[in-house]
Amino acid sequence: MRILLGLDGSENSLRAAEYAANLLEYFPDSTCTMVYVDTNTGNWQKAEIFEDVANDTVRESLERAQEVLNKRGLLYTTKVLYGTDIAGTLCRYAGEKHFDQIVLGTRGLSNIKGIVMGSVSHRVLQFAPCPVTFVK
Amino acid sequence: MKILVAIDGSENSLRAVRYAVKTAAHFPGSRFTLVYVDTMSVQLKVKGGGTPPNFEELVNEGRKASLEGAEKIFFDSQVPYTIKVLEGYDIAETICDFAREYNYDQIIMGTRGLGNLKGIVLGSVSHKVISIAPCPVTFVK
């Protein structure tokens, strides 16, 4: 089973990492790819300090999740994608690389808040090519 | 691991059931509960003037149609399961309340994958489940 773990550096995405780690342990033939969608790149491209800012945010977001899997001695690969539309970028990648499962942390916003704040999870649910697990 | 599989008899919910028996059966000590939320019986009851004479028939037919396909999949793959029929008006709330009360570790359900706008208009169950679920939820399309 090929698992895509979507990360954003939040507490919820750490819980999602725990969940992915469980899956990895239950399924002997599974692989995990951590994906972080970098939305800053587009906004920052013109700034001088772009490299520093972008790299720091990406590294921080990934590091904590990597720690979760490292602690349990599990293997994974890491992938940073660039795009403004997090859900679209994730789903397209999952489709292209034929992932079997997406695991995502979610803030669990209500319907109205979700619309106003542009809920990533709602959009992933709509466009996902495979089963999606949301972890709160 | 206690797993709740929510079903409504649709093609998507059958895919969720197939996913459940195929994938989630690997989870250690997994126990499945098929949950069907019966909204019809509540609606019939609140119509007033007592229940229609063929109430039992109407309700049972709905339940049977929804559970049949799912049960067959579980039966064929020889995975033990229990069935729970819940009565309620709001599907998402009924499912999540049940999952919370009985400490389920995972909810699996099918989804039509509607867009944001359609989701609001048609009353997306999955959006609501995401926001109020007490445990991880897996959606199968």
**DSSP secondary structure letters along A18-67:** HHHHHHHHH-TT-EEEEEEEE-HHHHHTTSTTHHHHHHHHHHHHHHHHHH
| Residue closest to B66 by CA, chosen among B128, B109, B3 | B109
pLDDT mean over A76-90: 89
List domains and CATH numbers for chain B.
Answer: 2-140 (3.40.50.620)
Interchain CB contact of B35 with A (< 8 Å): no
* Chain B nearest C-alpha distance from A58 (Å): 25
Q: What 8-state DSSP symbol labels residue A70?
A: H
Q: Residue A23 pLDDT more than 80?
A: yes
The ipTM is 0.85
Q: What is the mean pLDDT of chain B?
A: 86
Confirm if B34 and B81 have CB atoms less than 8 A apart.
yes
Cβ within 8 Å of residue A71, ≥6 positions away: none
| Interchain pair A131, B128: CB under 8 A | no
The rounded distance, in Å, linking the Cα atoms of B115 and A123 is 7
Q: Give A131's contacts in chain B (Cβ within 8 Å).
A: 19, 23, 138-141
pLDDT for residue B93 is more than 70: yes
**pLDDT recorded at residue B119:** 57
Name, of B3-17, B52-66, B107-121, the range with top average pLDDT. Answer: B3-17
Any A CB within 8 A of B47 CB? no
B28 versus A23: the higher-pLDDT residue is A23
User: B94 versus A125: which is more confidently predicted?
Assistant: B94
Tell me, what's the pLDDT at A45? 57
Residue B118 has pLDDT above 70, yes or no: no
State the CATH number of the domain containing residue A113.
Answer: 3.40.50.620
Arithmetic mean of pLDDT, B4-22 = 90
Predicted confidence (pLDDT) at residue B120 exceeds the cutoff of 70 = no
Q: Exposed/middle/buried for B90, CB within 10 Å: 0-12, 13-18, 19+?
A: middle
Question: Rounded CA gap, A125 and B27, in Å?
Answer: 23
Q: How many domains are there within chain A?
A: 1
In our burial notation (b when 16+ CB lie closer than 10 A, e otherwise), range A72-103 reads eebebeeebbebeebbbbbbebbeeeebbbbb
Residue B36: its pLDDT value, please? 92
- Which residue range(s) make up the domain with A84? 2-135
Beta strands in chain B (DSSP E): 2-7, 31-38, 81-87, 106-110, 137-140
Q: Which of A121-125, B27-31, B40-44, B84-88 has the lowest mean pLDDT?
A: B40-44
Give the pLDDT confidence of A32-50 residue by residue, as tens digits: 999 998 877 656 555 566 5
Distance in angstroms (rounded) separating the CA atoms of residues B54 and B59: 9
The shortest C-alpha distance from B74 to chain A (Å) reads 19
Interface test with B, best of A112, A115, A132 (most B CBs within 10 A): A132
Tens digits of residue pLDDT in B20-46: 998 877 888 889 999 999 888 888 777
pLDDT beyond 80 at A129: yes
Quick check: B8 pLDDT over 80? yes
Of B22, B30, B81, B80, the closest CA to residue A101 belongs to B22
CB contact residues (below 8 A), chain B span 63-102, against chain A: none
**What are the φ and ψ backbone dihedral angles of B108, each rounded to 5 degrees?**
-120, 130
Residue B42 has φ and ψ, to the nearest 5°, of: -65, -45
